[in-house]
Structure 1
């Protein structure tokens, strides 16, 4: 099993999703056997959405953890908020979002959120390999 933990810069919110995607891409490129391009794209989209959600709704990102399992890639984004993500009706006209958590749940075979007594939470998604 391959594991990588990456600290995502929270002092540059505009660049954090890009930094997370670059870190995930580097992790995926090191996997043996390599991931099919469609599976890699799914993981990168999942990383991007989870980090963006942490930045917009979770007070920023603490860390991004990636774990390669035989049938999946586990993506865990740790944020500062005690509030769990919630499904919203996507806003097709006003630009207020509502697509991220819905998309993650459609891409993933499973999602989980665990509140921490010390504050914050990891939001995990198992994405097909």
Structure 2
């Protein structure tokens, strides 16, 4: 495995439109990444953007502190990490049709090849997902 080619670390504001901001930042990152190494399949770009959106939506919905988006381009995947202030691990919930969610974690696991949660030594956690590229 080669060291990452591009790395992005960006705090995500809780005010305004945080998921829109994160998607825009991720979209710019992916455009640069594609110039270095095009994705193996065109739909991988949309999958990465969806995972970024879902991870950040969960961080904003289920925590009260800041979140940080981290993206890395590796030889065959994009590593997506979102750090938040909650020490609680992400857990799937049954999907609900009443607008309360439950789809995100299932979708993240469907669109990625690997996910795991790391506790942070100073509190909170980082959720890491590998999306094919």
1:16 corresponds in structure 2 to: 18
Q: Report which stretch shifted further, 51-60 or 105-114.
A: 51-60
**Structure 2 portions without partners, runs of 5+:** none
Look up the match of 2:86: 81
Task: Say if 1:58 and 1:83, in contact at 8 Å, map to a contact too.
Answer: no
In structure 1, runs of 5+ residues without a counterpart are none
Other-structure match for 2:76? 71
SS in 2 for 1:30: helix
Displacement of 1:58 after TM fit?
A: 2.7
The CA distance in 2 between the partners of 1:90 and 1:20, in whole Å, is 24
Please say if 1:52 is aligned against 2:57.
Answer: yes
Answering whether residue 111 of structure 2 is matched by residue 107 of structure 1, we say yes
Note the alpha carbon deviations across 1:43-98, whole angstroms, 9 max, x for none: 00000000000001133442100000111000000001010111111012x22110
Residues 1:28 and 2:33 aligned together: no
TM-score (norm 1): 0.92
Tell me the distance in 2 between the aligned counterparts of 1:52 and 1:61.
12
Question: C-alpha displacement at 1:116, in angstroms?
Answer: 1.4
Q: Kindly indicate whether the alpha-carbon contact (under 8 Å) linking 1:61 and 1:77 is maintained by their aligned counterparts in 2.
A: no
Give 3-state SS (helix, strand or coil) of 1:82's partner: coil
Using the size of structure 2 for normalisation, the TM-score is 0.89
SS at match of 1:18: helix
Structure 1 residues 69, 106: closer, same or farther in 2, change over 3 A?
Answer: same
Q: Which residue of 1 aligns with 2:130?
A: 126
